[in-house]
Structures are given as structure tokens and as C-alpha cells.
Amino acid sequence: MLRNVSILLVLAVSWALAKHVELPAPYKDHCILDDKTNLYDPSKSFDIPWFDVNLDLPPSERWKQVGAAYKTQINDLIGVLIDLITPVFPNALEFCDDVFGDMAPKLAQPYRDEIYSISEVTGIPLGRITMYNIFYEIFTVCTSIIAQDMDGHLTHARNLDFGLFMGWDANIHDWPISQKLRKMIINVNWVKDGKLLFKSNNFAGYVGIYNGLKPNAFSLTADDRFQLEGGYYGILKWLFGLEADGKWMSWLARETLEQKTTYLEAKEHLMNTPMLSPVYFILGGAKKDEGCIIARSLNGTAILSEMADSPHGWYLLETNYDQGTEALYLDDRDTPGIRCMDKLTQKNAGFQGIFNVLSSRTNLNKLTTYTVLMSVETARFETILQSCPGECYPW
């Protein structure tokens, strides 16, 4: 049985050869770590708007403000998706409306009613909103870092890279999907019983969670885990009624933030709940050494990597490969990330230092849409738009 097969990366090689793209060495030293080249500006976090999602309201009422504010952007993004797949599937629009529309009634609550309401308030057909809320399960490549400073204070951060193989535009040297997504990033205060329950950032109209922080409890990011039985496999099993218990990755992340109150409770839930797609959950806490990477298969945890046992001593770094395995040369974000973290040193392991590591190529690339920085201890949560201008690695 093949393990850790990345079909996406095989396609990447084919794409590069077909387009005769001269690719730079992915682990070339581009670390941004001195004061003269510091890129961290916390004021830029104010560029991302905040919305409240009130869990005390019925699901059909929770996303109306966001849906109304971003209906044009959501529709434009879905239009780009449809245009990209139409050459391969000439009836893509009808397929999306019919097949994903038929899927919608089978979705679990409260997500089903939330998706229905977003479709209603935006005027976008239900099948397209359903597709929009599912395709993130498949196409995300990322870098997540948990680091603790000399006093044991933890910073949890990640780059979200999205849009791979979705229509590289040779004229603008960028991925159109990533361009659209940068206009749709929002921060969310999740409110329950009239109080802040947790924070996240989302693409407008997307009800799942890739990054979240529960104050004084835990922080969470999710990176795709490339396996033969990947997101497509789980979706097909679910669609044909062969998988009743598995959860969507981003909905499990949200469920954990809603229901679990401690780092240990969250860890147990993320390790053992059946899923529809393999993933890396990167979990951070509020105390020294509270950090781990949970490499999930569909039915359990394949590998658990703890901060206390990290070979780096004071940080954990996860891209899209199992810890201790070698990344493919064309997708090596581990080597530059580790080199930059080692150059940063533990005494500089705060928001500024980690942001600059994540702003260094190739962890910063043409797919990168944003960096999020989190501290469970202080409840500090910052989302900063990212892009990689000029000569930059495509992924």
C-alpha cells in the first residue's frame, strides 16, 4: 500500500514541465530576521474586519450579516471556480447545482441550516454554496508553527496557502483563486451565552474553521495531510452513504472549539474522532510545552508529535508531511522553515519573529493568502494579509 502519496505534487511537476517554468531551489536562504528587513506591522491586522457569530441565535440567523456583506465576492469566487473546471467538465455549472445541491440536505446540523441561510441571503444557488464549503477539504497547503520563548510563553501561527492547480495566470504570475480569497478574509468572534467563546478567521461564507483560539484554553490550526485516501475518498464515501460517522475536518475543528474547554480535552477529541479526510491538527495551549501535532488518518491518530519531545527543542513546525519524513524537493517548505526558525533563536520567539519566518520564502509563496498569529495566554489574535510579489515560488 502506498503511503504519503501526494497526487497534487505529481501534478505540480507535470505542470512545471509543461509550462517550461524555471523553478528556484525551494530551500534557498531567504530568512527575514533582522530589524532592517522586519515585515511585521501589527497595525495591518486592522485591515481585516471583525464580525460576531452568535451561537445563541438559530443557525439560519448566524451568518446573515456576513453573507449580505460579501455576496458579490462569494459569487465572483465561485464563478472563477466554475470557469476553471468547465474545460474539463463542460456541464460544470449544472453538475455543481445538481450534485452539490442534492448533498446539502444530507449535511449535519447546524452547518446545514447555516449553509442554507447563506445561499438565501446571497441569492447564490444552494449547490454552489455547498461546494464552496467543501472544496477547502482538498486543496490547502500550509505552514503551521508553535514556538515557546525563553519563559515558556507560546506563539501559534500559520500561513494559509490556497489555490494550487486552480488556473495559474501566466500574465500576472499568480493564482486567481488566491487573489479572490484575499478579498474575503474575515475575523470572527464566536459568542455564546452573551460572552466571547472563541475567535477564528474565515473566508466569508465558509462555516468551518481552519484556525481558532479559545482564550486561556487552546489554539488550533489544520494543515492538509496528503495521502492516497485523501479528501476525495472521504467525500465519495460520505456521498454514497458508506461513511456515517466521519466528520468534515473543518467542522471537527469548529466543534472542538465550541465544546472543549481545555487543551487536554481538545487533544483527545481531535485524536480520536472519525474523519472524512486525513489532516494535521496543530494544537497549542497556554502552558509551557503544551503543543503537539496530531497526524490524523480517517479513523485515528497515525503520529503524535509533542512539543516536549521536539527535536528542535523549543518549536514544532508542520507543513504537509509527516514529522521526520523528507518533503519532496519541489514542495520543500520544511527546510527553509526550520533554517529560519533556527536562525531566529528562542529568545526572539514572539509575534514579530514568527511572522518574519512565515514571510520568508518559500513558506511565503504565490499561494499564501494570510498569516495568523495567536497567543492563548493573552487571547491575542491577529490576521495579516499576505502575498509574494516579484520572483517567488508558485507554491
- The per-residue DSSP string of 221-260 comes to EEEE---SS-HHHHHHHHHTTS-SS-B-HHHHHHHHHHH-
Q: How far apart are the first and last CA of the chain?
A: 28
- Given a cut of 50, whether residue 14 has pLDDT beyond it is no
DSSP annotation of 216 reads T
In the chain, list all ranges with CATH 3.60.60: 7-48+141-192+208-385
Poorest-confidence range of 24-33, 203-212, 254-263, 354-363?
A: 24-33
Q: If we measure between CA atoms, which residue out of 158, 156, 155, 147 comes closest to residue 346?
A: 147
Contact assessment for residue 283 and residue 295, using Cβ atoms and an 8 Å cutoff? no
pLDDT of 1 > 60? The answer is no
pLDDT at 340 over 70: yes
Residue 204 CB: number of other CB atoms within 10 A?
Answer: 23
pLDDT of residue 332: 83
CA 386 to chain CA centroid, Å, is: 14
- pLDDT over 70 percentage in the chain: 81
Percent residues over pLDDT 90 in the chain: 60
Residue 218 CA to residue 199 CA, distance in Å, equals 11
User: Edge to edge, what strands does the sheet with 279-284 contain?
Assistant: 50-54, 185-192, 195-203, 211-214, 218-224, 279-284, 291-296, 301-306
The better pLDDT of the pair 278, 137 is held by 278
Say how far apart CA 91 and CA 99 lie, in whole Å: 12
Tell which wins on pLDDT, 239 or 211: 211
Indicate the pLDDT class of residue 10, thresholds 50, 70 and 90: very low
10/376: higher pLDDT: 376
Query: How does the average pLDDT of the chain come out, rounded?
Result: 85
pLDDT mean over 42-62: 97
User: Which overall architecture, per CATH, does domain 7-48+141-192+208-385 show?
Assistant: 4-Layer Sandwich (3.60)
How far is it, in rounded angstroms, from Cα 20 to Cα 12?
12
Q: Which of 31, 96, 142, 392 is catalytic?
A: 142
The reported pLDDT for the residue numbered 26 is 52
Q: What is the mean pLDDT of residues 128-148?
A: 84
- Where does the pLDDT of residue 238 fall: very low under 50, low under 70, confident under 90, or very high at 90 and above? low
Is the per-residue pLDDT at 48 higher than 70? yes
Q: How far is CA 230 from CA 136, 145, 175, in A?
A: 12, 23, 23
Provide the 3-class DSSP secondary structure of residue 177: helix
More confident position, 11 or 30: 30
H helices then E strands: how many in the chain?
13, 13
Q: Give rounded-to-5 percent helix, strand, coil for the chain.
A: 35, 25, 40
Lowest mean pLDDT among 26-30, 111-115, 246-250, 319-323: 26-30
pLDDT at 62 over 70: yes
User: What is the pLDDT confidence band of residue 77, given thresholds at 50, 70 and 90?
Assistant: confident
pLDDT at 121 over 70: yes
Q: What confidence tier does 12 reach under pLDDT thresholds 50, 70, 90? A: very low
Helices (H), the chain: 7-19, 64-69, 71-85, 92-95, 101-103, 111-122, 126-132, 176-182, 231-239, 249-259, 263-272, 334-344, 351-358
pLDDT at residue 19 greater than cutoff 80: no
Cis bond before residue 362 (omega within 30° of 0): yes
Q: What pLDDT, on the 0 to 100 scale, is given for residue 18?
A: 38
Q: Is 31 a catalytic residue?
A: no
- In whole angstroms, what is the distance from residue 178 CA to residue 181 CA? 5
**What does the chain come to in residues?**
395
The pLDDT of residue 337 is 94
Lookup: cell for 16: 512545471
What pLDDT is recorded for position 20? 40
Which of the two residues, 214 and 161, has the higher pLDDT score?
214
Q: What is the pLDDT of residue 35?
A: 60
